[in-house]
Amino acid sequence: MTTAQSAPPPSMRLRELAFGAACAAALRAAARLGVADALGDTPMSAEDLASAVKAEPKPLRRLLRALTCYGVFTERPDGTFAHTDMSRLLREDDPNSLRYITLWCTEPWTWDAWPRLDEAVRTGRNVIQDLYGKEFFVHLNEDAPESADVFNRAMTTSSRQSAEDVAALLDLSGASSVADIGGGQGHVVASLLEKHPHLHGTLLDLPRVVENADPRLLEGGSLADRVRIVPGDCREAIPVKADVYIIKNILEWDDDSTARCLRNVIDAGGPGARVVVIENLVDDTPSMRFSTAMDLLLLLNVGGAKHTTDSMVERLKAAGLTIDDISPVNPYLHAFDCTVPA
């Protein structure tokens, strides 16, 4: 039976870290094979699982053995495998599923980019432009549509899981309109509209994204008569007038893109507009390993960064916003509640 090991000596721990790609690859393989989806509440043998996911039994056992070392699945004394709290999160039907986020963090482009981290650290620039000759999201949408789809699904998962927390935090009783800028499929604006029946909303994001907006917002949906869907790039222009603008988890680009987005929001809203920026912070999180890894990935793909509290405050003030309040949304997100000054 394979079990999670006690802490190894430093020399072995460093070897394990150097092989970290193997763990990421194993998670990706399990997600793509659908192992967690095939495994129900009853433990199964590697042979039965292999039959269910159309794989070879011996290599699948090796994959499962590797993952059990990290607490993803567990092997029972009789040689069968069972779920753990972590492995259930790889199921597509789990309400807190991290399947698409796992896939997003291990997409093919990541394996091209990680070996060039030293280059990104030396220059402070992303490596995607040199790798593919295109800006990151242009590359995804033009050359890697499957990765673009995984990205959109991962962002949808993240947004759906946090949208209700955002709606619970924000008091919009004094507003008549809200705009979700770079809002993906619109889960946040949908949750806000459901909480506040008097509100009208706007969702703005790239055309390919808003085509797949939350069904509640589309024609025939329960919120369709109170929302407008606007295809666009918030770094180029924001043709949306609203009392409140929500900007969630998108100000992680390079500084110029972040500044352009904030400037466009300020120009669109005008004096007195409320701007709520929601981010997960690299200095205020229960998982520094995850947040610092994502910070490095942002350096590689868009030349961006996860923010500290101070760096977020600095950028908001530099854009000309007045920060009225900073408060936690949930254990992973913070809201910077701002006003466009007169």
pTM assigned to the model: 0.84
Question: 53: helix, coil or strand?
Answer: helix
Q: Assess whether pLDDT exceeds 80 at residue 2.
A: no
Alpha-carbon span 27 to 102, nearest angstrom: 7
pLDDT in tens, 212-243: 899 999 999 999 999 999 999 999 999 999 99
For residue 210, give both structure tokens: 């808003």
For residue 280, give both structure tokens: 């997960």
Q: Output the average pLDDT for the chain.
A: 94
For 48-61, b where at least 16 C-beta lie within 10 A, e where not — what string? bbbebbebeeeebb
pLDDT in tens, 304-322: 999 999 999 999 999 999 9
76-80: average pLDDT: 97
Lowest mean pLDDT among 1-15, 65-79, 245-259, 284-298: 1-15
